[in-house]
Every structure is written in structure tokens, then in C-alpha cells.
């Protein structure tokens, strides 16, 4: 048995996990590890007359998106109980053809983005360029409460399956149209990507070192943020529909969700409006004891100076004598360089005698803000996250089992069920098109032969 694995369920002891972090190879083998979080005190178990339900029970989502923002939006809705049916091209959408791949085998079933973003969904493969494919999308939409699209301003409209067509004859449809720049405006047809949207809308120009080129934020954060924002918008519109009101079309521009990004951007926009100055990159590690520094096994980022705990900080690094120094009571910017240098030299020696984990524990103990600079390996091995049951083990029929990023919300009265693996291409074609939509089986087979439906 892998150390730290817990096939019997229940809470993993934090201290035990600290002593024996599981080996990396175990992350794939631990398929039978419970994915449910050990119960918290505040969770009230369901009863027969009062069963726990999911937040989004009964909501049916048709996911027509092809890229990350829409795909994460529907993943989030699926995780909290919505039934999500994804429609993609017979050869698979863009996220199935994007490196890296599980075991480095380029394959539509092994793209890591797809394994991540498509989990918990049903999959229907349709050629939506064909008339019959479009009719089937229209029929699927008629059975859905929510439609999500991120293919670009006019793409679905030109195929006859845009908002006007899908909402015809009903007033309860909620549709989220996620586009780079929005459905209107002079730049609506411009092309964009994660990098350029962060650059134009977000705080990219202030990221990184003042002495180097600015850098993007990690991964597809602008797209994921847009996807969550769309899920918020969908819930707003759906609340009103369920209260007897009408549906709505959400026009979400990632350029605008980046402009409204509360990682420095919105306060800096107002700062610029107030005083006429743009933000600039800030050097890391300014002041005293502040910022990223090396420890014995990596890096930490500690806010060593605050008037609240500077004396304790000096004591911690073994220089409580410096508390008596005239400079100790000054704001860091006004301390003499000699004073700062003396502290920094001692601090660095102190840091290098400790692991990053030890540094964090000891500085947190004096009330200092801070953390370690984790790699994904540190993250997966960390006893705190592991003990809280953050990771979902998902067993995929082609890629095999592995741990995934798990839940974001722990809910006292609602469940989050086990997560189904990303569906195989067209895995639910028959169930959705024949069983649920009532497509004649003979036609279904014919459509598969002609490639309208994936085979």
C-alpha cells in the first residue's frame, strides 16, 4: 500500500501524513481512495424525509463551447449537480488536441486539458456544419435550460444555431456567449488568445521584474476566470427563470472580465482615473524581510516586516538586540541601508538553515503573513491539502487513474457527488440521441455512417 493512501476512508491524520508523504508513483495507483471529503462538524447529514441534493440539481446544460472558458464554465456547473451534455466535432474539439498528454501520447482521449475540463460531462459528437447536425443541436437545446458557447461572435448564428434560433418560441432559455471582445464594438472580430487577452485587458504589463519583459499569469487563468464569471451570470439568469421570469443572453467578453480583474487591475484603473498615473511593475523583495527568499530546499515569500510583529520577527531570527536600534521603529523605506543589510544577512542565514515548510510554520507562529513557493510536486505532497481531501481520484478508461484538482466549495447542506471521468469521444451519442431525443435507430446508424454523428 502506498504510504498516505487511505482506502478505508475517514480522515487522514495530519501528523501521520507529515511523516510519510506518499511517493509520486502512488498518485496514479490510488484509484480506490475515497474522493469524498471526510465529514466536517458543520455538515448536517441528509435524512430520508430531507435528502441532501446538489446545488444545481435538475439543471440541464448544453455545452457548445470549444475552448477553455466555456469548457470550464460547464465543468463547474457539472461539479455542483447540473447535467452537462457537451457537443463536439467527431474528431474532438480543440482541448482534446492540446499538449501535454497523459504518458506523452498525443491522443484525443489523453489531452490533460480535456481530462481536466471535460470531467463530469456527457459527450455527443456531431458535425454541426451539416443541416442534420444543426437540427439535432436545436433539438438538444430545446431540452436544455442553459446553452454555453465560446466559439466567437457569429459562428453559431451562421450555422443557424445561435441565440435567435435556439430561443425562438421560448422565453426561458439562458445562453452564455463567451467571446474575446464581446458581441459588439470595433474589435469584436479580432482574434485573441490567453496571452493577448491578459496583455490587453489584465495586469500583464505590471507582472514580473521591472528589469525584464512583463510576464503572463500562469496557465489559462484569464479563460478560467471568464468561465467562472459566466457560471455566475448563468446562475443569476437561472434564478430569475426559476422565479417565473424570463431568460437572458449573457454577452461575456474576456477582454472585459480581464479589465474587471481584481488582481490589481480594477483598483489600478480607478487609481489611473483618479490621478492620471499608470501602474508599473514592482520589484519583488523591496523593504526589509519582505518577498521571495531562498530556504534550504526552495523558496519562501514572507512579509517579514509589519509594525505589528517586527520585534517578534527580529527575535525569531535571533536578533532581538536590533529591536533597540533607532531604525527599528521606522517604516522600511526610511531605514538605513546598513540596518537593512544587517537584518537581511542574518535572515538569509536563518532561512538557509531551514526547509521552506519550517520557515512558513515558524513565521506563521509569530503572526507573519507569508507562504512557500510550491511546485506542483510540493502541492501534491502537502499534508494540509491531502488531509483535507482536496484531490479527486478519477479513473479514466483510456488514460487510467490519477489525482485531479478537486472541489472548490464545501457545502453543509448540498452534496457534490463523485466525479465521472472525461467522456470518450461520442460516448453518449446513443444514450442522448436515441434514448433521450428519440432519434430513430436506423437514422442514427445512417448518420454515423455519413459522419454527421461520430462513430
Partner 1 sequence: MTNDQPQKLPLEGVRVAGVTVVWAGPHVTQLLAEWGADVIRVEPMNRIQPYSRLSLQPQSANVQQLMAQGGLTYALTPDLDPGPDPWNRSAAFNSHARNKRSMTCDITSPDGHAAFLKLIENVDVLVENNVPVTIEKAHITYEELRAVNPRLIMLRMPAFGLDGPYKNFRGFGTHVEGMIGHHHLRSYEDLGPEYTGDAYTADAIAGVMGAFAVTAALRHRERTGEGQLIEMPLAEAFLPVLGEWILEYTYNDRVAPSQGNSHPTHAPHGVYPTSGKRQFIAIDVPTDTEFQALNTVLNATLHEDDRFATNAARMEHRGALDQALSALTASHDKFELFHTLQAASVIAGPLMDELEALASPQLEARGWFEELTQSGVGTHQHPGILFKMANTPNHVRRAPPALGEDNEDIYLDLLGFSRDQYDALIEAGLVGTTYPDDLLRSAP
Residues 376-435 that bind partner 1 (CB under 8 A): 376-380, 382-385, 387-388, 390, 399-400, 402-414
Closer to partner 1 by Cβ: residue 250 or 316:
250
Q: For partner 1, give the closer residue by CB, 95 or 137.
A: 95
C-beta of 126 vs 253, nearer to partner 1 = 253
How many residues touch partner 1 (CB under 8 A)? 173
Phi, psi angles (nearest 5°) of residue 395? -100, 110
Nearer to partner 1, 252 or 288 (CB): 252
Q: How far is the CB of 179 from partner 1 (least distance, A)?
A: 11
First to last CA, the chain: 40
Q: How far apart are CA 123 and CA 431, in angstroms?
A: 10
Residues in a beta bridge with 290: 303
Of 67, 255, 313, 347, the residue at the interface with partner 1 (CB under 8 A) is 255
Q: Which residues pair with 148 in a beta bridge?
A: 63, 176
| Contacting residue, 21, 34, 287, 294, with partner 1 by CB under 8 A | 294
* Max Cα distance, the chain (Å): 89
Near partner 1 by CB under 8 A: residue from 256, 295, 335, 429: 256
Neighbours of 388 (CB within 10 A): 18
Among 92, 133, 152, 247, binds partner 1 (CB under 8 A): 247
| Dihedrals phi, psi of 368, to nearest 5 degrees | -75, 145
CA distance 223 to 70: 8
Asked if 53 and 145 touch (Cβ cutoff 8 Å), the reply is: no
Q: Closer CB to partner 1, residue 42 or residue 337?
A: 42
Residue 34 Cβ vs partner 1, minimum distance, rounded to whole Å: 17
Distances (CA, A) of 224 to 137, 256, 258, 279: 25, 14, 11, 24
Cα–Cα–Cα angle for 258, 198, 237, rounded to 5 degrees? 30
Q: Binding residue for partner 1 (CB under 8 A) from 108, 139, 142, 221?
A: 221
By C-beta, is 370 or 451 nearer to partner 1? 370
Q: Assess 448 for contact with partner 1 (CB under 8 A).
A: no
Closer to partner 1 at the Cβ: 193 or 346?
Answer: 193
Stretch that binds partner 1, among 85-93, 139-147, 272-280, 320-328 (CB under 8 A): 272-280
Chain positions 352 to 381 lying near partner 1, rule: CB under 8 A, are: 360, 364, 367-380
* Closest to 259 measured CA to CA, from 193, 205, 203: 203
Decide whether 277 or 438 has the Cβ nearer to partner 1.
Answer: 277
For residue 9, state whether it binds partner 1 (rule: CB under 8 A): no
Site for partner 1 in 86-115 (CB under 8 A): 98-100, 102-104, 112-113, 115
Per CB under 8 A, contacts with partner 1 among 32-71 are 40, 42, 53, 55-57
CA–CA dist 215, 207 (Å, integer): 5
Using DSSP bridges, classify how beta strands 391-396 and 400-405 pair: parallel, antiparallel or unpaired. antiparallel
Report if residue 451 touches partner 1, rule: CB under 8 A: no
CB 180, min distance to partner 1, A: 9
Strands, E assignment, 254-360: 290-295, 298-303
- Binder of partner 1 out of 10, 45, 244, 276 (CB under 8 A): 276
Q: How many CB atoms lie within 10 A of CB 114?
A: 29
Q: Rounded to whole angstroms, how far apart are CA atoms 283 and 138?
A: 53
- Strand stretches in 127-271, DSSP E: 146-149, 174-179, 248-253
Q: What is the DSSP letter of 24?
A: T
Least distance (Å) between residue 288 CB and partner 1: 15
In the range 179-208, which residues lie near partner 1 by CB under 8 A?
181-182, 184-187, 190-201, 203-208
Residues 416 and 34: their CA atoms lie apart, in Å, by: 13
What residues between 305 and 344 interact with partner 1 by CB under 8 A? 306-308, 331
Partners of 124 in beta bridges: 87
Residue for cell digits 505532497?
381
Choosing from 32, 130, 259, 323, the residue that interacts with partner 1 (CB under 8 A) is 259
- The pattern of x and - marking residues 132 through 171 that bind partner 1 according to CB under 8 A reads -----------------------------------xxxxx
According to the binding rule CB under 8 A, does residue 301 interact with partner 1? yes
Residue pair 18/383 in contact by the 8 Å Cβ criterion: yes
H or E element in which residue 61 lies: strand 60-63
124 binds partner 1 (CB under 8 A): no
Cβ 361 to partner 1, closest distance in Å? 8
- Taking CB under 8 A as the binding criterion, the range among 84-92, 122-130, 293-301, 442-450 that sits at the site for partner 1 is 293-301
* Minimum distance of partner 1 from residue 242's CB (angstroms): 7
Residue whose cell numbers read 488536441: 97
Amino acid at each position: 500500500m502506498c504510504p498516505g493512501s487511505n482506502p478505508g476512508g475517514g480522515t487522514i491524520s495530519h501528523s501521520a501524513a507529515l511523516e510519510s508523504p506518499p511517493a509520486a508513483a502512488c498518485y496514479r495507483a490510488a484509484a480506490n481512495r475515497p474522493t469524498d471529503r471526510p465529514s466536517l462538524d458543520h455538515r448536517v447529514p441528509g435524512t430520508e424525509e430531507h435528502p441532501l441534493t446538489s446545488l444545481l440539481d435538475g439543471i440541464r446544460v448544453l455545452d457548445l463551447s470549444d475552448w477553455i472558458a466555456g469548457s470550464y464554465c460547464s465543468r463547474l456547473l457539472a461539479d455542483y449537480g447540473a447535467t452537462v451534455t457537451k457537443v463536439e466535432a467527431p474528431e474532438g474539439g480543440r482541448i482534446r488536441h492540446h499538449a501535454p498528454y497523459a504518458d506523452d501520447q498525443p491522443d484525443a482521449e489523453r489531452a490533460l486539458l480535456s481530462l481536466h475540463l471535460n470531467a463530469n460531462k456527457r459527450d455527443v459528437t456531431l458535425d454541426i456544419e451539416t443541416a442534420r447536425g444543426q437540427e439535432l443541436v436545436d433539438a438538444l437545446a430545446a431540452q436544455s435550460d442553459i446553452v454555453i458557447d465560446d466559439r466567437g461572435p457569429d459562428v453559431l448564428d451562421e450555422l443557424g444555431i445561435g441565440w435567435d434560433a435556439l430561443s425562438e418560441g421560448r422565453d426561458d432559455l439562458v445562453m452564455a456567449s463567451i467571446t474575446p471582445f464581446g458581441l459588439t464594438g470595433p474589435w469584436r472580430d479580432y482574434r485573441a488568445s490567453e496571452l493577448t487577452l491578459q496583455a490587453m485587458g489584465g495586469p500583464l504589463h505590471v507582472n514580473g521584474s521591472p528589469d525584464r519583459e512583463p510576464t503572463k499569469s500562469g496557465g489559462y487563468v484569464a479563460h478560467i476566470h471568464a468561465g467562472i464569471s459566466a457560471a455566475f451570470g448563468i446562475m443569476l439568469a437561472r434564478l430569475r427563470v426559476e422565479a417565473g421570469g424570463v431568460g437572458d443572453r449573457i454577452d461575456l467578453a474576456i477582454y472585459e472580465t480581464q479589465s474587471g480583474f481584481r488582481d490589481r487591475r480594477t483598483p489600478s484603473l480607478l487609481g489611473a482615473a483618479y490621478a492620471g498615473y499608470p501602474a508599473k511593475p514592482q520589484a519583488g523583495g523591496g523593504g526589509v524581510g519582505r518577498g521571495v527568499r531562498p530556504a534550504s530546499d526552495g523558496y519562501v515569500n514572507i512579509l517579514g516586516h509589519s509594525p505589528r510583529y517586527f520585534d517578534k520577527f527580529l527575535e525569531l531570527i535571533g536578533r532581538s538586540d536590533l529591536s533597540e536600534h533607532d531604525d527599528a521603529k521606522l517604516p522600511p523605506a526610511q531605514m538605513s541601508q546598513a540596518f537593512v543589510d544587517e537584518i537581511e544577512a542574518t535572515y538569509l542565514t536563518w532561512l538557509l538553515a531551514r526547509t521552506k515548510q519550517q520557515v512558513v510554520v515558524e513565521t506563521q507562529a509569530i503572526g507573519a503573513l507569508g507562504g512557500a513557493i510550491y511546485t506542483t510536486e510540493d502541492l501534491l505532497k502537502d499534508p494540509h491539502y491531502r488531509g483535507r481531501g482536496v484531490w479527486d481520484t478519477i479513473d479514466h478508461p483510456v488514460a487510467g487513474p490519477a489525482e485531479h484538482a478537486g472541489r472548490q466549495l464545501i457545502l453543509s447542506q448540498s452534496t457534490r457527488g463523485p466525479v465521472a471521468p472525461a467522456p470518450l469521444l461520442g460516448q453518449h451519442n446513443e444514450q442522448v440521441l436515441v434514448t433521450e431525443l428519440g432519434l430513430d435507430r436506423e437514422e442514427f446508424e445512417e448518420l454515423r455512417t455519413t459522419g454527421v454523428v461520430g462513430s
